[in-house]
């Protein structure tokens, strides 16, 4: 069911889901919000992901996808992908042949990506983006990714459409179904069946032709309502989290801490939650970096990326300045190198207290994290280079470094799940802003599909 259909039902049954569509529920009893449970954090190759259950097809098939509000990619592993089945023994896969509503896109269809290569072996890196190749009937896509630690990931499959349901929201949308993995060290990880992107159509980065638009789930869910895209709330913790489609999750926002961050002037389109990066402080002192850095690397709030990911120039400057102004410089310097090398480090209380507070200035608003809020602990502190979790009493740094994007004007600072887990965030797409508040817990009894 689309949200526009729910709006039409308001007359008969009251406002079921979305006050933003104009339903007057002031005379009704408080309703139970339709939270969707998230599982995680799940660690793989140093990345921390949260999983959401998504139902695809008719009858519905439930798959577990990485929740990624940093892209509009909707891709799922298919039953006819032998590598997927062998590599992901515990992850459900999608059988398009068993769905009566699955429609593969032909290569000459309007909604088919432009083919730019001819055979699967041509799936090669093109500036970190994607390619598409053509066969006789199905629309084929060829995807390439590069993760933060240099691993190259390739896969290919078919492009088509089907009914997709998350929580109480259902609509028909285009998606990719993977048939082959070139490299099993996939960004999806063995725990998931693919990626569920939550951005809008203009930034659909699975597709080769950037001059076309392809409506995503977040577009199609509000077709006919007059709303540009579906707003949503995210609340992430070390024990899971919640997704609330269509509403501001005030129940999990600490009163008096709400801050409004507008989508920035560098945002690629209305549906990409990118904000202006205005500055950064270590223990109250401005980071010693060229001020031009901030304009070239706006903030991208991205739940699909685990670490707080910055350019290596930023990472190196932070490491240099990390212990300046510390109350116990020697203690801080004694663990700094190991933390920045992503080693597991025991941090007694006095050493923890020597680490700096880190303040980010985003869209004119200030957000300060204490050491335990930007560190990863125990099993969640999986070492990026080895995949080995730390002991319960050990920590590692929740930052990661990355190289500049080969695409001019495409750079971002990824404020991933490590940063986002400290807040409840409402991505108000129609108003082009993010409401960020300190978190007040977000595990809801009975949340789910």
* pLDDT tens string 52-87: 999 999 999 999 898 988 777 788 888 877 767 656
Strand partners, 162: 173
Residue position matching structure tokens 């310097």: 333
Whether pLDDT at 358 is above 50? yes
**pLDDT top residue among 170 and 129:** 170
Instruction: State phi, psi for 324 to the nearest 5 degrees.
Output: -70, 135
Instruction: List CB contacts of 438: < 8 A, sequence separation 6 or more.
Output: 253, 254, 257, 422, 423, 424
- Strands 194-197 and 61-68, by their bridges, are parallel
Structure tokens at 423: 């807040």
Domains, the chain, ranges and CATH? 3-24+31-237 (2.40.70.10), 249-438 (2.40.70.10)
Distance of CA 226 to the CA centre of its chain: 26
Distance CA 294, CA 297 (A): 5
Position 245 scores a pLDDT of: 92
Which residue in 373, 122, 426 sits closest to 261, CA to CA?
Answer: 426
Whether pLDDT at 49 is above 50? yes
Structure tokens at 406: 């080969």
Residue position matching structure tokens 């066969």: 135
Return the percentage of the chain with pLDDT > 70, whole number. Answer: 65
Mean pLDDT across the chain: 76
Position 324 scores a pLDDT of: 94
Q: Which of 22-36, 178-192, 363-377 has the lowest mean pLDDT?
A: 22-36
Cβ contact 70:301 at 8 Å:
yes
Position 60 scores a pLDDT of: 97
Which residue in 159, 157, 73 sits closest to 109, CA to CA?
Answer: 159
Its pTM stands at: 0.83
Distance CA 432, CA 429 (A): 5
Burial class (CB in 10 A: 0-12, 13-18, 19+), 311: buried
Strand partners, 359: 281, 368
Query: Three-state DSSP class for 199?
Result: coil
Instruction: State phi, psi for 315 to the nearest 5 degrees.
Output: -60, -45
Position 179 scores a pLDDT of: 79
Position 180 scores a pLDDT of: 72
Q: pLDDT tens, 99-126?
A: 999 988 765 555 555 444 444 444 444 4
């Amino acid at each position: 069911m689309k949200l526009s259909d729910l709006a039409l039902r308001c007359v008969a049954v009251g406002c079921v889901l979305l006050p933003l569509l104009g339903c007057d529920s002031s005379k009704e009893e408080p309703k139970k919000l339709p939270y969707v449970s998230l599982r995680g954090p799940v660690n793989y190759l140093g990345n921390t992901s949260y999983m959401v259950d998504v139902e695809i097809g008719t009858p519905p098939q439930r798959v577990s996808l990485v929740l990624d509000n940093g892209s509009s990619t909707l891709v799922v592993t298919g039953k006819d992908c032998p590598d997927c089945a062998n590599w992901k023994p515990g992850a459900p896969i999608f059988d398009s042949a068993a769905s009566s509503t699955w429609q593969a896109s032909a290569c000459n269809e309007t909604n088919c990506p432009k083919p730019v290569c001819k055979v699967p072996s041509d799936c090669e890196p093109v500036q970190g983006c994607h390619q598409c190749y053509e066969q006789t009937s199905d629309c084929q896509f060829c995807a390439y990714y590069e993760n933060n630690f240099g691993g190259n990931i390739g896969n290919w499959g078919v492009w088509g459409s089907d009914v997709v349901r998350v929580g109480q929201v259902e609509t028909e949308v285009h998606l990719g179904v993977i048939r082959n993995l070139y490299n099993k060290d996939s960004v999806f990880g063995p725990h998931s069946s693919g990626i569920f992107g939550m951005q809008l159509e203009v930034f659909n980065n699975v597709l080769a032709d950037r001059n076309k638009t392809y409506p995503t789930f977040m577009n199609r869910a509000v077709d006919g309502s007059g709303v540009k895209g579906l707003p949503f709330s995210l609340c992430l913790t070390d024990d899971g989290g919640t997704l609330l489609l269509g509403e501001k999750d005030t129940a999990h926002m600490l009163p008096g801490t709400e801050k409004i961050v507008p989508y920035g002037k560098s945002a690629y389109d209305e549906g990409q939650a990118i904000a202006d990066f205005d500055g950064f402080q270590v223990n109250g002192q401005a980071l010693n970096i060229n001020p031009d850095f901030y304009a070239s690397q706006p903030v991208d709030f991205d739940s699909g990326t685990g670490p707080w990911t910055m350019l290596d120039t930023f990472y190196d400057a932070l490491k240099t300045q990390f212990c300046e102004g510390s109350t116990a410089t020697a203690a801080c310097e004694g663990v700094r190198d190991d933390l920045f090398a992503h080693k597991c480090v025991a941090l007694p209380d006095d050493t923890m207290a020597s680490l700096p507070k880190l303040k980010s200035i985003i869209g004119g608003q200030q957000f300060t994290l204490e050491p335990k809020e930007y560190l990863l602990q125990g099993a969640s502190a999986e070492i990026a280079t080895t995949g080995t979790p730390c002991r319960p009493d050990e920590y590692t740094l929740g930052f990661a470094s990355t190289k500049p994007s080969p695409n001019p004007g495409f750079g971002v600072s990824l404020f991933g799940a490590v940063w986002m887990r400290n807040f409840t965030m409402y991505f108000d797409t129609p108003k082009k802003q993010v409401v960020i508040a300190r978190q007040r817990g977000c595990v809801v009894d009975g949340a789910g599909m």
